[in-house]
Amino acid sequence: MSSFQTEIDIASSKELVWLAWTQSERITKWFAPEAYLEPRLGGAYELYFTPGNHDTMGTKGCIVTLWEPQERLGFTWKGPDDFAAVMNHEGALTYVLVSLSEQEGATKVLVEHFGWGDTEEWEKARAWHQMAWSQVLGSLKKALEAGVGELCCTP
């Protein structure tokens, strides 16, 4: 099964990084403008990139597949509509694994994205996601390291 990895170090606690990935009201501050997350194994992991529209540009129907609090989070994934024909249907969903580890005053975030096919269309989708995950992790780092707003505080 084809995969790729993206990682970043964030000057924040593992707890706050975990909450940023697992709470709807926090993930909307750095990843997608609208979200429905059920923080538990088998729960929803739905991000919506066009507010008010849950049928396009989102991860409707995706679920949490691994739940190890403050350590690892896994979920199924759908790509943007441009790649829907190849990757957004049963049997072709990809899988994301987020792993957190503490590193001298920081948290290392490792995103591994699995399940890529080997056609030209799959390769385009994979290349797009490699670029996108780098941007997403940069957004998370910027949001958490700013030290302001909901993301910086433990509930």
Contact indicator for 77, 113 with CB cutoff of 8 Å: yes
Smallest Cα–Cα separation from 9: which of 74, 83, 106, 105? 106
What is the pLDDT, as a whole number, of residue 97?
98
What is the pLDDT, as a whole number, of residue 81?
94
Residue 114 above 70 pLDDT? yes
Report residue 26 as tokens: 């926090």
Contact indicator for 14, 122 with CB cutoff of 8 Å: no
Cα distance between residue 145 and residue 138, in whole Å = 10
Residue 99 above 80 pLDDT? yes
What is the pLDDT, as a whole number, of residue 1?
59
Contact indicator for 100, 71 with CB cutoff of 8 Å: yes
